[in-house]
Amino acid sequence: MFEPLIIDPPQPADSAVIWLHGLGANKYDFETEAKLLQTHVLPHTRFILPQAPTQPVTLNGGMAMPSWYDISDLSSPRQCNIEQLTASAEMVIALIEAQKKQGIALNRIILTGFSQGGAVVLHTAYLAYPNNIGGVIAMSTYAATFSANTVLDASKKTIPSLHLHGTQDPVVSSILGKAAYSFLIAQGVSASWHDYPMQHSVCEEELTDIANWLRQRLTTE
């Protein structure tokens, strides 16, 4: 596994955001956004941007590209390689534990993910990691491992989530994103939903919403 891009803050770190990129992207995809948030909102927050392994993706004709797991169909959130998704979640857990060893409290660690990366962080926070973290930001994504039979542990209901999606997204339908949000609401999670007139991308208004949500949870002043 590649080493993550770690962006240390200008002031001593007391919190961390682990931010996963999407399919076909790389660990530098959200470097600019992380640095902007750090400069203007979160001067005490370390950003960790991991790199997905390069592996064949069935959806794209078997072409090898950075991916957190293989996927064969975007029409259903569960047409994916669960074993590879689980391995990616274990990588995220290792990053959480590394931050914990450096003195960052678990309730001050936020998992963020775009598209495929979002599916990984939702799975990690609510199903795979036995402890609680400070929250989840799910960007233009879906829940690959939530189903009608999934019941969250009671403690997991205390992990807040922020869901952001483009209304014109041709890659991951906002219907799938809203389904993940609605599932967590039904389970008793404090979840928020924002959508924007954009496609499978990121917009300035979305970054403002992310900044406000993170400020509420990670600033100590």
- Which positions are catalytic? 115, 169, 200
Bridge partners for 15 per DSSP = 45
Both tokens assigned to 209: 């919403």
The answer to whether 57 and 88 are in contact (CB under 8 A) is no
- Rounded to 5°, angle at Cα 131 from 29 and 191: 60
Both tokens assigned to 162: 């922020």
The answer to whether 90 and 69 are in contact (CB under 8 A) is no
Q: What are phi and psi of 28, to 5 degrees?
A: -90, 0
Name residue 6's amino acid.
I
CA distance linking residue 67 with residue 89, whole number of Å: 13
Q: How far apart are the first and last CA of the chain?
A: 37
